[in-house]
Amino acid sequence: MSALIVVNFKTYESAQGESAVSLAKAMAEVDASTDATLVAVVSAFDLSSVCAAAPKLKVWCQHLDPIGWGSNTGWLHPETAISRGASGTIINHAEHKVEHSHVEKLIDQLPEGFPICACAADVEEAHSLAALSPTFIAVEPPELIGGDISVTTADPEIVSGTAAAVKASNPDVRVLCGAGVKNGEDVAMALELGTEGVLLASGVTKAQNPLAVLRDLVSKI
């Protein structure tokens, strides 16, 4: 399987609305020129416009809720997201934590083949989430998120340790890492430490030249 470069748009002003569309187009351009797979994780508000602008790019939600139709004000219904082009989701991000029961119910509700990436703060949480069989687990130490030092440099043991723990628990789960990832060297190190890709945000969304950064991220794969 190809390495994954998953870019979380979060609610950065530089990655919302028309800016989200522009960034998604840049990602689609790089995705078409590399063996890696790029994934845009966008605001629910931007799902339709991003998917329409970059139809070949994989576009995920930033969160979904395991709910049915009816009285669920403010929650995000999976089928609504899918109908607007979502082809995957992350869940339990450090900035939007949920109970593991929420993750389990969501996995049960999502259609077969719809990828879900469960985020973990450490090896212990990653091991626990692996038992639920998400498609991916992304380990991200919260203290390094948005920082200038990649987790692959600041704490390589948590990356290799997570990869080992998850594969020992559930070899079908693919492992990603994130927090501070900014360049191709960080991606190459992540792969060397046993992951199958990275989850990042500000390194792309706040860049002066996102296209150049995206090209660099895949340059050593």
Catalytic residues: 93, 140
What pLDDT does 143 receive? Answer: 86
Band (77; pLDDT cuts 50, 70, 90): very high
Q: pLDDT (tens digit, 9 = 90+) per residue, 80-138?
A: 999 999 999 999 999 999 999 999 999 999 999 999 999 999 999 999 999 999 999 99
| Contact (Cβ atoms closer than 8 angstroms) between residue 120 and residue 137 | yes
Helix (H, G, I), strand (E, B) or coil at 4: strand
What pLDDT does 155 receive? Answer: 87
Residue 49 clears pLDDT 80, i.e. is over it? yes
Q: Based on the structure, what is the number of domains in the chain?
A: 1
Please choose, from the candidates 62, 1, 6, the residue with its C-alpha nearest in 3D space to the C-alpha of residue 214.
6
What pLDDT does 88 receive? Answer: 98
Cross-strand bridge partners of residue 200: 7
What pLDDT does 150 receive? Answer: 86
Q: How far apart are CA 153 and CA 136, in angstroms?
A: 22
Torsion of CA 160, 162, 165, 167, to 10 degrees: -80
What pLDDT does 122 receive? Answer: 95
Provide the residue range defining the domain that includes 105. Answer: 4-217
Please choose, from the candidates 59, 7, 4, 6, the residue with its C-alpha nearest in 3D space to the C-alpha of residue 36.
4
Q: What is the CATH number of the domain that holds 177?
A: 3.20.20.70
Residue 62 clears pLDDT 80, i.e. is over it? yes
Band (196; pLDDT cuts 50, 70, 90): very high
